[in-house]
Amino acid sequence: MDDFEKRLQRQNLRQVPAGWREEILAAAQTPDPGFKTSSEEPTVWGWLFARFPVAWGALGMLWATIIAANLLSSAPGSRTAMQPVFAAGTEPMAIWNLQRAEVSLLNGGLEDTTELRPVAPLRPRNERRRDEGHGAFLAEPPIRFFA
């Protein structure tokens, strides 16, 4: 550092105006109107709910719908309603024949006692032809419910 620099360095700079200290510190310690104290600070959930109310409402409705649908589908009667009352078989036909036989007996045997044969379940054509007597074999007699 030469003499010129030292000469410059010796020049005293101006002092801060006396009144500034109190004014600046007072301004600095004034609470920020936009600043919230810790007791007023929202929680994360509160912030989320406040920020996206429509989205949260829609999500709540969706969950309510899902839960309601789930409860309705698991009601006691709904599961058995889908099950068949009769297995594909001869029970209705047997009941019908029994009723006809009873009526015939009551009427003194005047009623036609021809028995209804149960509808054969669906089977391949060749097996059906054999059962109906069109084939070369008649190994089995027709099904009869009453002797």
Partner 1 sequence: MEIKYGIDKTNGLVRHVSNLMRDKPDLQRLYDEHAQALFAFLLNFTRDEGDTRDLLQDMFVKLSRQPGLLRGARNERSFLIRLVHNAAIDLMRRRGTRNKHQEQFQGEQIPVFAPTPDPDEAEFRDELANALAELPAEQRAVVHLKLWEELTFEQIAETLGIPPNTAASRYRYGLDKLRERLRPLYEET
**Comparison of 8 and 72: residue with beta carbon closer to partner 1:** 8
**Comparison of 27 and 85: residue with beta carbon closer to partner 1:** 27
120: Cβ contacts below 8 Å, ≥ 6 apart: 128, 131
Shortest Å distance, C-beta 7 to partner 1: 7
Which 3 state secondary structure label does DSSP give 30?
A: coil
Classify 125 in phi/psi space as left (phi over 0), alpha (psi -120 to 50) or beta: alpha
Shortest Å distance, C-beta 18 to partner 1: 11
Backbone phi, psi, residue 126, to 5°:
-65, -35
Reported as type and span, the H/E element at residue 77 is helix 76-81
Shortest Å distance, C-beta 16 to partner 1: 4
**Comparison of 29 and 83: residue with beta carbon closer to partner 1:** 29
Which residues bind to partner 1, rule: CB under 8 A?
A: 4-5, 7-9, 11-16, 20-21, 23-25, 27-29, 32, 35
